[in-house]
Chains A and B, each alone.
Chain A
C-alpha cells in the first residue's frame, strides 16, 4: 500500500498544484506510515517531485495522452492505483482533475471527498475537512471505503519541501479504443495569461468600473502582480468580460493568497466564492459596501484614482525589492 498522487503537468512541466498535492500526499503517507507514489503523464523530468516528498514516480509516456482525455487518464490512474495497492489517492482541484476523478472513484470503488482543505482529522475513521455551501461552511466527511480519494483545494495546503529522491519507473497502462470516445478537436487557451485556477494573486473588477473600456488598469495591476484577472457576476452577465472570469457561487471559486476587488460591492454569492482566499483587499467608493466586512484591507476611494497610484507604488516596491 502507498499513497498515490496524480501530479499534473502541462507542456512537459509540472504545475504548481502538482507540488502541492505531492506535499500533501507526503504528510498523509507519514500519518499512515507508508510512502508516496506519483503518476506523471508525459512530464519531462520527474526528479523534481522528490523535492516534495515523492518516493517513486510511475512515468507514463504515451502520445495518445498528449491531449488530456479524462476517461483514458482515469483508466491509467486506476491501473496505477491497483499496481501500487494504493489505499489513498490524492488529486488536485484543477478542471482536468475534477473531470477525471469522479470516474476514477467508480473505477476504484473508492469514496471520494472533493474540496478538501486540510490533512485528515483522523485516519480511523478516515475523516477529512472540506468546504461546502460554496465556502460558506466546512464539513467533516468520513470516508468508509477501503480505497479513498482526496481532491485537495488549490492553495489550501501549500508547498512543503522535503529532501528526497524520487525513483522513476516507466509505466504503460493498457488503454483501448473505449478510452478514447470523447475527442478534443480544439483548445482555446490564452498562453500568455495566468489562469484563475493557477494564480496566487487575483485582481477582480466589478460594476464600479463603469464599462469594459476601463479594464486596462485592472489588467495593468494584474500584470504588475503576476496575477490573473477576474470579475463579478453582473460584469460577466453584461458581457463586459468573458464568463470564465466570473467569480462567485455560480461562477468560479477563488482560493488565492491575495484577492484584490476593485469596484465590487460584495454580494453574498461573490463573497462566498472568494471566502477561501487568504488575504482580501477591497477598493470601493462606497464605505457601506458589504465587501468591507469581508476584507482584510480596504480603501474607500475612487478606483480611477486609487488603482493607478497602486500600480505606481507596486512598481516602486518591485524595483526596490528586485
Chain B
C-alpha cells in the first residue's frame, strides 16, 4: 500500500497570533512552526501501517523552502520520502489541486490529510482532493483499518461516531483518535540523522486559478474585565447570567 500524508506547516499551538503589512499578512516573527497536529495524528497512523502492514509512506507539503524543516521532521518520525510543491499555499482549492497532481503522479492508494490546518482552518483540502482524484472520502476520521483494498473508517459525528466501509483509493481527513496523543512520536537522534539522507523532492506547481483570497486579518476585540462573584453568593451568578448576560 502506498500512503501519502499531507503535511501543513503551521504555527505551534501556543503561538500568539499577530499580523503585519496593514493586517494583510501573518507575522511569522518569533513563531515556532510545527507539523499541523491533525496531520501528525495521521502521520503516526501511517507509521503503524508501515510497520505492521509494510506500507510505504511519503509526505507532501505545498509551500516554500521555509517549510522544509517541517518535512524533515516528518522524515525523522519515519516517512520514506518527502515531496514539496514549490509554491505559496494560497487557498484550499489551490492546495488541493497541487496535491491532486502529486497523488496522480505517485499512484497513492491512501491519502491521509488532517481534517483542517490550525492556521486557516479551511477544512476543505481533504474533501476537495478526494473529489478531484475520484477517490473515496471519509472526513473527521478517528479510526482506520485497511485489509487489501477494503477500508473500515470511523468518523466522528456530532454527538457520537459512525463506522463505514469503503474501498481504496481513499482520502481521509484525520484528527486525534486516529492514534492517541500518547502514541505521537518524538524523533530520536537516529531518526534525525537518517532524515537528512532521505529524498526530499521539490516539484513545480501546476497552474490553477485562485478561487478565494484572504485579503485582511483582524484580531478579536480585547476582552473586558471579568466580573467576580463571591463563592459565598453563588445565587448572584445566576442573577447576572439571567439579567445582565441574558444567557439563561
Contact = CB atoms under 8 A, between A and B. Distances in A.
Given A101-B127, A111-B211, A313-B234, A279 B120 contact: no
Interface string B207-248: 000111111111110011011111100110110111001011
B158 interface: yes
Is the interface on chain A under 10, 10 to 19, 20 to 34, or 35 or more residues?
Answer: 35 or more
Contact of B227 (A188, A298, A314): A298
B160 A102 contact: no
B138 interface: yes
Interface stretch (B54-62, B79-87, B173-181, B185-193): B173-181
Contact of B217 (A103, A139, A246, A314): A139
B92 interface: yes
Contacts of A300: 228, 231
B213 A142 contact: yes
A292 interface: yes
Interface stretch (A46-54, A205-213, A249-257): A249-257
B158 A140 contact: no
Contact of B121 (A103, A131, A145, A302): A131
A132 B119 contact: yes
A293 to B, nearest CB: 7
A213 to B, nearest CB: 22
A237 to B, nearest CB: 5
Is the interface on chain B under 10, 10 to 19, 20 to 34, or 35 or more residues?
Answer: 35 or more
B155 to A, nearest CB: 8
A79 to B, nearest CB: 15
B238 A138 contact: no
B108 interface: no
A188 B176 contact: no
B163 interface: yes
A139 B211 contact: no
B177 A243 contact: yes
Interface in A174-232: 181-190, 193-198, 201, 225
A137 B19 contact: yes
Interface in B149-206: 152-153, 155-167, 175-177, 180-182
A246 B176 contact: yes
A257 B237 CA distance: 16
A206 to B, nearest CB: 16
A101 B122 CA distance: 11
A249 B238 contact: no
Interface string A268-295: 1100100100110110000000001111
Interface stretch (B1-9, B42-50, B69-77, B128-136): B128-136
B131 A250 contact: no
B65 interface: no
Interface stretch (A56-64, A92-100, A163-171): A92-100
A201 B248 CA distance: 9
A133 B220 contact: no
B38 interface: yes
Interface stretch (A24-32, A33-41, A81-89, A112-120): A112-120
B144 interface: no
B28 interface: no
Contacts of A96: 157-158
A3 interface: no
Contacts of A184: 162-164
Given A139-B218, A140-B216, A243-B177, A105 B93 contact: yes
B81 to A, nearest CB: 26
B140 interface: yes
A123 interface: no
Contacts of B119: 132-133
A190 B180 CA distance: 22
A140 B214 contact: yes
Nearest to A200: B247
A105 B226 contact: no
Given A137-B19, A297-B245, A306 B231 contact: yes
Contacts of A185: 152, 163-165
A12 interface: no
Nearest to A110: B211
A71 B182 contact: no
Given A258-B241, A269-B13, A301-B231, 13 more contacts: A95-B158, A102-B92, A102-B125, A103-B131, A106-B96, A132-B121, A135-B220, A141-B213, A187-B160, A243-B177, A249-B118, A294-B223, A317-B238
26 contacts: A71-B136, A99-B127, A102-B124, A105-B131, A112-B122, A114-B123, A131-B121, A132-B119, A133-B119, A137-B19, A137-B218, A138-B218, A141-B213, A144-B213, A181-B167, A184-B164, A188-B160, A189-B159, A190-B159, A237-B180, A244-B156, A281-B237, A297-B229, A297-B237, A300-B231, A313-B238
Interface of A: 70-71, 94-96, 98-103, 105-107, 110-115, 127, 129, 131-145, 181-190, 193-198, 201, 225, 233, 237, 243-244, 246, 249-251, 257-258, 268-269, 272, 275, 278-279, 281-282, 292-302, 305-306, 309-310, 313-314, 316-317, 321
The 7 closest A-B pairs by CB, nearest first: A102-B127, A195-B159, A301-B231, A189-B160, A111-B211, A106-B131, A197-B158
